[in-house]
Structure 1
Amino acid sequence: MHEVFGQSPQGLAIILFAALMGGIVRGFSGFGTALVFLPIATPHLGPFGALIGLTIMDILGPLPNLRRAWTAVNQGDLVRLVLGCALVLPVGLWLLAQVEPEVFRYAVSLVALFMLAILALGLRYQGRVSRTMVTGIGGAAGFLGGVAGLPGPAVILFYMSRPLPVEVIRATILLFLFAFDFLILGFLTGMGRVTLGTIGLGLVLAIPNLAGNWLGGWLFRPDRERLYRAAAYLAIALAALSGLPLWG
């Protein structure tokens, strides 16, 4: 059977579907690409292959929104988040290199389900967030991003508690995740994990992912936000459960 990017036609179709679904979920809920993509793609690509594919396709997605985000971002907090992330991300990646792929799959699925539970319950950190804590949140995001490919939960759950305009919060999160993609890609390149094949696959995955982002945004209607968020939660739950090594 002819393989493309080391995948059978069925495996490649599943990975492309994961990229599409991750884009759709992000398009109509504002988050969820990694939460959907990684549990589905990791059994086919392995931990590092899935991370590289996700990173490359995710770099292209926010490009149209970067200029507007830069005008609204809290630049001081952004620097602290990225600094904390850069310091701790190598630790998470080193730990990932030491464990079996099944451990990574469990970590991704369990973190995704934990994030889903917190989102569904509407829980938020209510305390004061200091500058040092912002750096620490960046570090936590770097660790989770390295060991499980999920830098978003730490930033989203804690940073949104700050008494700032929604536009500022969203801009800072968007730019942090954009910077994270370059950080992890740089570290993975230094580890010798990035190849022309993985780069090519990431660029191919960007096509359905961008289409999914557009479709999700087109489908979204503000008056039906609850319905779409419920659909996003369901998609994340199914992806997380399907990614568990229990199913083979």
Structure 2
Amino acid sequence: MVNGLLSITNLTGPEFLFLTGVVLVAGIVRGFSGFALSAMIMATATVILPPIALIPMLWWLELGASLMMLKGGWQDADRRVAIALVIGSTLGWPVGLALTVSLPVETSKIIALSIIITLALSQLAKVRLGFLASRPGLYGTGVVAGIVSGLSNVGGMVVALYVLASDAPARQMRGSLVLFLLFGAVTSLITLLAFRVMDFSGISRGLVFVPATLVGVYLGQKMFTPVLSRYYRSFCLALLCALAAAGLTRTMVS
């Protein structure tokens, strides 16, 4: 059994255990916040797998997490906002992937992560980002998220910034993120297949690590209590800053 799992994932025993732990913790954060699964895994698992190998695996993990959170997400979300963000992201994804052949990925990622840190810190400092509340800001955020996803796979963080800029209740913000990631999974799969990024290894690893993800999501959902949800926005903004800073440091060092 164990040898079979190691064979189909092409991982050593220590690598498998490490990745299982990472996926479990990322699932807990996803269950509570509604996002950050891919960002957390990308920030840590690149020590054993390159980003291009993680992207198809993450698609399956995100899909599993989104389906598990669908009931609450559908009830709580601002569906108009989520659908608009998906439309914009769908337009931006191919552009981002196409740009990877002409732009230095490291430079693009440094710019994207720097912007995320700046905007997240601004929101923590209670600086109102009015442009994000407009209709152009809504669709523009989706397009930028798609482009950034194609370049550096951190588009979900861009969408999280938009959602957190609103004055909506925590449950609605969380639900909107869940719905965006679910709908976005459908459209991004088309792009991943078109660019031949979704391969057998990615599918195998994704299916193997989905159970650990779902356990983490379940635990994270249980933590989303009325008491802790008061701190939802601050937690998510601090999480964005930490993830972006970690990604920025890793990019600049490498």
TM-score interval, smaller chain: 0.7 to 0.9
Does structure 1 conserve the Cα–Cα contact (< 8 Å) formed by 2:87 and 2:139?
A: yes
Does structure 1 conserve the Cα–Cα contact (< 8 Å) formed by 2:66 and 2:178?
A: yes
Does structure 2 conserve the Cα–Cα contact (< 8 Å) formed by 1:113 and 1:240?
A: no
Query: In the alignment, is residue 82 of structure 1 matched against residue 92 of structure 2?
Result: no
Does structure 2 conserve the Cα–Cα contact (< 8 Å) formed by 1:106 and 1:244?
A: no
Aligned partner of 1:94 among 78, 95, 98: 98
Percentage of identical aligned residues:
24
Q: Provide TM-score, normalisation by structure 1.
A: 0.77
> How many Å separate the matches in 2 of 1:200 and 1:187?
19
> How many Å separate the matches in 1 of 2:110 and 2:131?
30
What is the aligned length?
247
> How many Å separate the matches in 2 of 1:129 and 1:105?
25
Aligned partner of 1:155 among 153, 159, 162: 159
> How many Å separate the matches in 1 of 2:168 and 2:30?
22
What's 2:38 paired with? Answer: 34
Change (3 A) 1:235 1:114: closer
Unaligned runs of 5+ in 1: none
Moved more, 64-73 or 32-41: 64-73
Q: CA deviation at 1:32?
A: 2.3
> How many Å separate the matches in 2 of 1:15 and 1:199?
15
What's 2:246 paired with? Answer: 240
Change (3 A) 1:73 1:112: closer
Q: CA deviation at 1:214?
A: 2.0
What's 2:130 paired with? Answer: 126
> How many Å separate the matches in 1 of 2:221 and 2:56?
25
Aligned partner of 2:20 among 10, 16, 22: 16
> How many Å separate the matches in 1 of 2:109 and 2:14?
20
Give matches, 1:208-219, under 5 Å: 208-219=212-223
> How many Å separate the matches in 2 of 1:103 and 1:5?
31
Q: CA deviation at 1:171?
A: 2.8
Q: CA deviation at 1:186?
A: 1.6
> How many Å separate the matches in 2 of 1:70 and 1:54?
22
> How many Å separate the matches in 2 of 1:155 and 1:221?
23
Q: CA deviation at 1:45?
A: 2.4
> How many Å separate the matches in 2 of 1:229 and 1:126?
21
> How many Å separate the matches in 2 of 1:154 and 1:245?
18
Q: Provide TM-score, normalisation by structure 2.
A: 0.76
Change (3 A) 1:117 1:94: same
Moved more, 18-27 or 1-10: 1-10
Q: CA deviation at 1:30?
A: 4.0
Query: In the alignment, is residue 194 of structure 1 matched against residue 198 of structure 2?
Result: yes
Q: Give the letter aligned to residue 77 of structure 1.
A: V
How big is the alpha-carbon RMSD for the aligned residues of Structure 1 and Structure 2?
Answer: 3.8
Does structure 1 conserve the Cα–Cα contact (< 8 Å) formed by 2:30 and 2:37?
A: yes
Change (3 A) 1:94 1:12: farther
> How many Å separate the matches in 1 of 2:223 and 2:75?
28
Does structure 2 conserve the Cα–Cα contact (< 8 Å) formed by 1:23 and 1:210?
A: yes
